């Protein structure tokens, strides 16, 4: 719908880390740019008049009583280029998986036809699963990375895309790396220009991201120059940090300081930075991120394979670090953020209780680590929006109208009214299938 319009229906969104808000028969008034300009409830004085006004002018979209709106999910870390190998070789350690499977796959994207096919498909799959915003790693090559941004933009997804920087000949095969540090940085600069050229041609916008793969992929010269570029450009930054024992230990060995501190020294730690994984952060790293406003992209499914550890999400959040959720395709195998929400809760409960039955109950776990579904829902929506410094993730005035509409008329055990509205949200979060996601809207535009 062009111009102003309104959507009438039931909705949930996160009010805070712990609490959710339910709005029954809300009137969500959307302005020309796709932002929510007002939300009216039946008890509001203006409500009936406004509903009639939008209806009489043919500008009212009415949801059915069994349809529930949720904010679209923000997938804060996803390798679009690894989609063809989702579900492959996750039993191998990270550093082996990268060399044997991932780099050969990522090198294929120089074939622009191949890149186009895969990128169309992953954008379609994530959108259909309710992901309205995604922060993507593409590959080392600039042209297919620009193509990913364009494809996401055209499909109506809000995308943040990085050309991956990986220049160290000792760490990367010749067929999948930047020729040298100079080229790594100049190609990144060109990539940023290319994406900025069409950023605003999409209502929801697409954004370039500075993307050093992780410290082990890059030479010091490259990290120095790229860090300077990041400081100049003040755009989004993404990288992997302290993901596994190996990755965490690597930075210590190379610099004598932690991964996060090394990234900071090079200029990569900012309030627009997203660090993927980071379960092995130490006390001073957590302080650094909280102080700099740097966020973590938590990929619980991937962590079960490559990290062999669980992010202490609740502790890091309580110390002031913002956390979003992510699929990490293909370190995680599933493109649906529902699976990230579910696994985040499950993993945290296992961390809380411990898992080795031979230990006594009191020595088995790490107390106060379990997160609730409300916490996970917050991270998948509001946490992602905060991480990216974008007005998304809530259904309130001043936020983009990014919504997934869940049809609860099948697949949900709704035999009698829920005790409280929140119970219905929890059923949706745990039982929703892709087929229940009837519509998806991004910035006021219907894309599914």
The binding site for ligand GUN (CB under 6 A) comprises 79, 94, 98, 102, 213-214, 240, 243, 302, 306, 328, 331
For Fe ion, give the closer residue by CB, 67 or 328.
328
Backbone angles phi, psi at 332, to 5 degrees: -100, 145
DSSP assignment letter at 181: H
Q: Which residue lies nearer to ligand GUN by CB, 299 or 408?
A: 299
Which is closer to ligand GUN, CB of 238 or CB of 443?
Answer: 238
102: partner contacted, choices ligand GUN, Fe ion, none (Cβ within 5-8 A by kind): ligand GUN
Pick 110 or 319: Cβ nearer ligand GUN: 110
Indicate whether 328 belongs to the interface with Fe ion (CB under 5 A): yes
Binder of residue 213, out of ligand GUN, Fe ion, none (CB less than 5 to 8 A by kind):
ligand GUN
User: Virtual CA dihedral for 306, 132, 264, 178, nearest 10 degrees?
Assistant: 70
**Which of 14/172 has CB closer to ligand GUN?**
172
Binding-residue pattern over the window 247 to 286 for Fe ion, x denoting contact by CB under 5 A: -----------------------------x----------
139 or 204, CB closer to ligand GUN?
139
Smallest distance from the beta carbon of 231 to ligand GUN, in angstroms?
Answer: 23
Alpha carbons 444 and 401: distance in angstroms, whole number: 5
Compute CA 168 distance to the chain's CA centroid, rounded to the nearest angstrom: 28
For residues 25 and 69, is the Cβ–Cβ distance under 8 A?
no
Strand 20-30 to 5-14 pairing: antiparallel
Q: Give yes or no for residue 178 binding Fe ion (CB under 5 A).
A: no
The gap from C-alpha 48 to its chain's centroid, in whole angstroms, comes to: 37
The pairing of beta strand 437-442 with beta strand 445-446: antiparallel
Nearest distance from C-beta of residue 125 to ligand GUN, angstroms: 18
Binding span for Fe ion by CB under 5 A among 96-104, 160-168, 287-295, 324-332: 324-332
Q: Given CA atoms 273, 101, 325, 369 in this order, what sign does their dihedral have?
A: negative
- Rounded to a whole number of angstroms, the minimum distance from the CB of residue 206 to ligand GUN is 21
310/350 Cα distance (integer angstroms): 9
Burial class (CB in 10 A: 0-12, 13-18, 19+), 329: buried
Tell me the closest approach of the beta carbon of residue 116 to ligand GUN, in angstroms.
21
Strands 295-298 and 273-277, sheet pairing = parallel
Cα 125 to the center of its chain, rounded Å: 14
Strand pairing partners for 78? 136
Length of the chain in terms of residues written = 448
| Nearest distance in Å: CB 375, Fe ion | 22
Q: How far is the CB of 132 from ligand GUN (least distance, A)?
A: 23
Which of 294/404 has CB closer to ligand GUN?
294
Q: How many residues bind Fe ion (CB under 5 A)?
A: 2
**Chain positions contacting Fe ion, by CB under 5 A:** 276, 328
């Amino acid at each position: 719908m062009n111009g102003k319009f309104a959507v009438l229906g039931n909705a949930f969104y996160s009010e805070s880390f712990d609490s959710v808000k339910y709005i029954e028969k809300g009137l969500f008034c959307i302005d020309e740019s796709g932002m929510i300009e007002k939300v009216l409830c039946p008890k509001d004085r203006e409500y009936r008049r406004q509903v009639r006004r939008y209806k009489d002018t043919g500008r009212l979209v009415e949801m059915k009583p069994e349809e529930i709106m949720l904010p679209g999910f923000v997938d804060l870390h996803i390798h679009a280029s690894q989609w063809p190998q989702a579900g492959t070789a996750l039993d191998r350690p990270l550093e082996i998986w990268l060399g044997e499977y991932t780099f050969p796959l990522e090198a294929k994207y120089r074939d622009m036809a191949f890149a186009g096919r895969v990128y169309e498909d992953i954008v379609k799959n994530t959108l259909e699963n309710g992901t309205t915003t995604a922060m993507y790693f593409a590959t080392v090559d600039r042209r297919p990375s620009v193509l990913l941004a364009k494809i996401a933009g055209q499909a109506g997804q809000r995308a943040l895309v990085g050309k991956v920087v990986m220049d160290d000949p000792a760490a990367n095969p010749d067929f999948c790396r930047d020729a040298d540090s100079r080229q790594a940085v100049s190609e990144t600069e060109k990539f940023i220009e290319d994406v900025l050229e069409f950023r605003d041609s999409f209502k929801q916008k697409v954004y370039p991201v500075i993307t050093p793969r992780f410290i082990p992929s890059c030479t010091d010269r490259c990290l120095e120059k790229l860090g300077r570029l990041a400081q100049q450009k003040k755009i989004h930054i993404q990288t992997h940090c302290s993901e596994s024992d190996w990755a965490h230990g690597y930075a210590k060995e190379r610099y004598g300081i932690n991964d996060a501190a090394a990234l900071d020294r090079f200029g990569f730690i900012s309030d627009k930075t997203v660090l993927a994984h980071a379960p092995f952060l130490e006390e001073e790293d957590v302080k650094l991120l909280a102080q700099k406003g740097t966020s973590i992209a938590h990929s619980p499914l991937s962590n079960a394979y490559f990290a062999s550890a669980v992010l202490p999400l609740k502790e890091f959040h309580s110390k002031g670090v913002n956390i979003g959720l992510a699929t990490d395709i293909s370190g995680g195998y599933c493109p649906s953020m529902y699976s990230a929400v579910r696994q985040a809760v499950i993993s945290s409960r296992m961390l809380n209780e411990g898992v080795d039955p031979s230990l006594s109950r009191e020595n088995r776990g790490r107390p106060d680590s379990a997160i609730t579904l409300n916490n996970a829902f917050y991270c998948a929506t509001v946490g992602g929006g905060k991480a990216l410094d974008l007005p998304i993730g809530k259904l309130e005035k001043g936020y983009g109208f990014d919504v997934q509409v869940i049809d609860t008329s099948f697949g949900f055990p709704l035999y009698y009214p829920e005790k409280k509205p929140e119970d219905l949200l929890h059923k949706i979060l745990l039982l929703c299938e892709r087929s229940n996601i009837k519509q998806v809207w991004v910035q006021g535009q219907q894309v599914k």
